Structure formats: C-alpha cells, structure tokens
Amino acid sequence: MSDDPKPQANIEALIEAAQQARLHSVAPFSNFLVGAAVKTASGKVYTGCNVESASYGLTVCAERVAIWKALSELSEDERQFTELAVVADTETLTPPCGTCRQIIWEFARGARIVFANLKGAREEFHIGDLLPRAFDARFLKGTKITD
C-alpha cells in the first residue's frame, strides 16, 4: 500500500459524493436510502441514488443509476471507471445486489469498490471477489470481447 495520502483523499471525496447522493433517494416503501458515486479515469464523478417504484421489480439501485448516468454522457473512449463508492445507513456494510454486481462487472470491472456507512466504517473490494465466475459477452456466440 502506498504512503501517498492522495488516493485516500480521493476515496474520501467519492464517499462524500455518495453520501450526498443518498439524500436524494426515492425510497417511500423501504426507507432504505443508498447513494453511489463512480469516478472516471479523467476524474469526473457521477452520482446516483436508489429509486423505488410501487411495482417493486422496477426499482433501480444507486449503483446502476450512477453508472448509467455516466454511460449516457460519456463517449465510448471515456468510459473507464476507476472507483465506485456505495453508502448506506446500515451497521453492516451493504454490498451491491446481484443485478448491480453484473452491471459493475460489465462496465466498471477495473474500479476500486468501497462500501461505507454513515458511521465511518468502510471496506474495499474488487468486483471479481463479489462476482466470481461472472457471465459476460464472452459467453455469447459471435461476440468478440477485448479485455
């Protein structure tokens, strides 16, 4: 691990952005507010919050909102994500759901992932640890993947 304080300061700022995004959650059914922030290689940060629907299956998690916002604004050559922070107000740090793990695998595979809560607890992961033996386009016939 590096003694350089800059990576730690960067993750602190990303966690703060996720905490602020959490405040915009639309969670009238669960009251479970989650915020996420994803950072690009160029340093741009995109945030997201969870948005619930009365038709529960249409609910969208904060991680997907942040990644989709970034994908919808960035050109293909700018879509390298370096860090992702997810913040929830839980005692035990909250990992992404299975659907979010899949989206992270496909679009932010190289990102440093940090789970945090409002009490200052945090833990860092790589998506390969959260989604071992992931499914992706390599398994689809006729699809070429460059990795």
| Number of residues written out for the chain | 147
pLDDT in the model for residue 2? 44
CATH architecture of 5-130: 3-Layer(aba) Sandwich (3.40)
d(CA 16, CA 49): 13
pLDDT in the model for residue 77? 84
Which of the residues 52, 63, 78, 123 is marked catalytic?
63
The string of pLDDT tens digits covering residues 46-70 is: 999 999 999 999 999 999 999 999 9
pLDDT in the model for residue 11? 93
Percent of the chain clearing pLDDT 90 (strictly above): 83
The model's confidence at residue 32, banded by pLDDT at 50, 70 and 90, is very high
Predicted TM-score (pTM) of this structure: 0.88
pLDDT in the model for residue 1? 41
Across the range 122-140, mean pLDDT stands at: 93
Examine the residue annotation and report whether 83 is marked as an active-site residue of this protein. Answer: no
Strand spans (E) along 25-120: 34-40, 45-49, 81-88, 112-117
d(CA 104, CA 5): 26
Any idea where the domains of the chain sit in the sequence? Answer: 5-130
Residue 126: helix, strand or coil by DSSP?
coil
